[in-house]
Amino acid sequence: MRKLRCWVGGLLVSLAALAASAAEVVIGQVAPLSGVLASTGEQMVLGGKVYFDAVNAQGGVHGAKIRLQVEDDGYKVDDTVRLTRAMLDHPEVVALFGFAGTANIAQLLADKVLEQGGAALVAPYTGGEVLRTPFNPWIFHVRAGYADEAEHMVQQLATLGITRIAVMYQDDGFGKAGLAGVEAALERRQLKLVAVAGYERNTDNVDSAVQTIRAMDAQAVIMIAVNKPAAAFTKRYREQGGGARLFNISVVDPAEIVKLAGLKNAHGLAISQVVPYPYRPQLPVVREYQQLLKKYAPEAEINYTSFETFLGAKVLVEALRRAGPQPTRARVLRALESLQGFDLGGVTLNYGPNNRVGSRFVEVTVIGGNGRLMK
């Protein structure tokens, strides 16, 4: 009898542990919460967390609550690789979500970290072509690529008759991907860049770039840059008399640009966007985002970055639903492939066995006289 009681007690403990594990689904996110991209990283985490919190408040997915495990890589490639490996060593992590950095994620592919872990990465905050071509099965993009953004910006400039275009870019995989996109878009129009100037990653040392581009009298400058160096270039270029139209690729926060560069300098800066305008609740998914942001993060402001990762979280939660109870990495990946013509609420994404780019949407916004974005 005593042995039976011990056996029953052990069984109950095991069942309780199993129930506890079944009641939780773990998602891993490595984000730049320190360094030059810290403000962007905070918004990346916020957008996903708001939606996951809302899902958990409704009982989770198949009765399991979603737990978002977040680690800070400081936008450093080696730390991204190290932290991702550590996450994937834990089998309870069924998917990865919302990483940042073309070079960072490209290194995960080069080192076969995702392949060895067998986990999908959903909604990375990058449009680098190296992550899309050649095809790899592990990354599910919510956003258009930098090549799509570059084509849209160059087309807009060409329509205005502007041909003397320069690029200021971050000298790494991210910046080179954007630079290649601009060069390809110009080549299709039999044009070439009048100036190209780089700056070192994880710095805002752009003085040399300002001088190089000013000397060539460009009519427009397309920046492939993150917040701090983009703001530094905008401020110094304008203060030194630079009069070209300024554009930046989608990865910057306009509020941060205005704060760092000053409204006088930032006014008129055009920023390409890869998700719909989140400030007016015209689409159902924008209304949902605004309502949940107000409920779960009442101090936070509406932001393109948090809205983008909010969309990514909706994609991942739908995949978890389709993967069924007790999802595995393989089941989640197959479920993501099944999201063909998936409507998030006025935003439709398409994935499939041979397609990982859910959207090609691009539009350009401009920082207005009040410091806010205008369409």
Model-level pTM? 0.89
* HEC secondary structure over 289-344: HHHHHHHHCCCCCCCHHHHHHHHHHHHHHHHHHHHCCCCCHHHHHHHHHCCCCEEC
Distances in whole angstroms, Cα of residue 107 to Cα of each of 119, 210, 362? 15, 30, 27
* HEC secondary structure over 189-242: CCCCCCEEEEECCCCCCCHHHHHHHHHCCCCEEEEECCHHHHHHHHHHHHHCCC
Angle at 29 between CA 28 and CA 34, to 5 degrees: 145
Sheet holding 363-367, edge to edge: 195-199, 165-170, 220-224, 245-248, 270-273, 363-367, 373-374
Q: Are 65 and 23 in contact (CB under 8 A)?
A: yes
pLDDT digits (tens, 9 = 90+) for 94-141: 999 999 999 999 999 999 999 999 999 999 999 999 999 999 999 999
Q: From the centroid of its chain, how far is CA 177?
A: 15
Q: Are 73 and 104 in contact (CB under 8 A)?
A: yes
| Sequence-ordered list of residues with C-beta below 8 angstroms from that of 290, at least 6 positions apart, any chain | 278, 281, 302
The two three-digit tokens of residue 42, written as one number: 């905070």
Judge residue 11's burial from the number of C-beta atoms within 10 Å of its C-beta, 0-12 exposed, 13-18 middle, 19 or more buried.
exposed
Q: Packing angle between helix 284-296 and helix 304-323, nearest 10 degrees?
A: 100
Of 113, 221, 227, 131, give the one whose Cα is nearest residue 174. 131
Torsion sign across C-alpha atoms 215, 218, 220, 224: negative
Continuous H helices in the chain? 2-22, 38-57, 77-88, 102-110, 113-117, 146-159, 173-187, 207-215, 227-239, 254-261, 263-266, 284-296, 304-323, 329-337
Distance CA 47, CA 98 (A): 10
Look up tokens 């916020």; give the residue: 46
- What phi and psi, each to the nearest 5 degrees, are found at residue 43? -70, -35
In whole angstroms, how large is the CA radius of gyration of the chain?
22
Of 342, 334, 335, 338, give the one whose Cα is nearest residue 359. 342
Distance CA 91, CA 95 (A): 10
pLDDT (tens place) for every residue of the chain, 375 residues total:
544 444 444 444 444 444 444 589 999 999 999 998 999 999 999 999 999 999 999 999 999 999 999 999 999 999 999 999 999 999 999 999 999 999 999 999 999 999 999 999 999 999 999 999 999 999 999 999 999 999 999 999 999 999 999 999 999 999 999 999 999 999 999 999 999 999 999 999 999 999 999 999 999 999 999 999 999 999 999 999 999 999 999 999 999 999 999 999 999 999 999 999 999 999 999 999 999 999 999 999 999 999 999 999 999 999 999 999 999 999 999 999 999 999 999 999 999 999 999 999 999 999 999 999 998
Q: Are 30 and 84 in contact (CB under 8 A)?
A: yes
